Amino acid sequence: MSEVNTSRHVYEAQTGYFEDTAGGGGIAGHLRRNRIAYVGGALMLAIAIGIRIYQQMMAFSVGMDYYEPEFQAYWMPLLYGEIAVLGSVMVFGSIYMWVTRVRDVSTITPQVELKRYFTLLGVFTVLGIWAAMIAALAVESDAAWHQVAIRDTDFTPTHIVIFYFSLPLLTAILIPTFIWAHTRIPAFMNRVSIPFLGVVCGIFMIMPNYGFNEWGHTFFYAEELFAAPIHWGFVVLGWSLFFLGPLAVQIIQRMAQLIAVVTSGRDCIVPNG
């Protein structure tokens, strides 16, 4: 019994998960365990609403024509800022995740590993919220913009929001997350999760296609035709989402094993095979 209690105290100090005490139970414990999802989700909602308000106020007044000086003053600085911020997050985030990687997998206890799975799920929750915002507030607005713009170019208010910020933001977060998971979670270390890789690559490879898409709209397609050849590459984004199913299986299966271990008070590590 003393060994079980000792194990549980170690576990409480490391993670705080599955606690029924005042510090870890109830709403406070729930919020603490899921703070990445709540804080990150709230941040994503705030960014989406802020951008949508800016579009509502500025798009039709100073955003109808890329060649007007007002467009250069109100929209291009936003574009340059997006590229700088997202590029920095992806590059420096990836470098940091690799430099600070765990080199000895034996040092990772079941409790720490389980906590990292919850962290990973929190990141995916935030990305899911952001993807919902893209679908609800951005995608159809771009289709409508192609019908009304005076001069349709690669740089429009909807393009700057969707193609140069919203979709690249998914990649800027996913790539460092992919490196983090494969350098800190034992089930992913020293190997590559094909479903995880499929999600990352599918979302990343959509960026060359929307470059081709906007080139086509500028010179060939004034109408927003769903079946136009310039849209065919977008199915890659849909295919990448299919990989979320097997990735969820990999994560949930391992979490089930870890939950059984940490709730029993044992310190042994469940085999990763």
pLDDT tens-digit readout, 92-125: 999 999 999 999 888 999 989 999 999 999 999 9
Q: Over pLDDT 90: what percentage of the chain?
A: 46
Q: Is residue 42 part of a domain?
A: yes
Choose the weakest-confidence range: 76-85, 145-154, 190-199. 145-154
Q: Over pLDDT 70: what percentage of the chain?
A: 83
Comparing CA positions, the residue from 122, 172, 140, 126 lying closest to residue 52 is: 140
Q: Is residue 226 part of a domain?
A: yes
CATH of the domain at 175: 1.20.1050.50
Domain containing 114: what range? Answer: 34-264
Q: Is residue 14 part of a domain?
A: no
The domain tally of the chain equals 1
Is 198's pLDDT higher than 60?
yes
Q: How confident is the model at residue 173 (pLDDT cuts 50, 70, 90)?
A: very high
pLDDT value at position 175? 96
Cα 35 from Cα 98, distance rounded (Å): 24
pLDDT tens-digit readout, 35-75: 888 999 999 999 999 999 999 899 888 988 888 999 999 99
Q: Is residue 201 part of a domain?
A: yes
Is 23's pLDDT higher than 50?
no
Average pLDDT over residues 137-161: 79
As a whole number, the mean pLDDT across the chain is 82
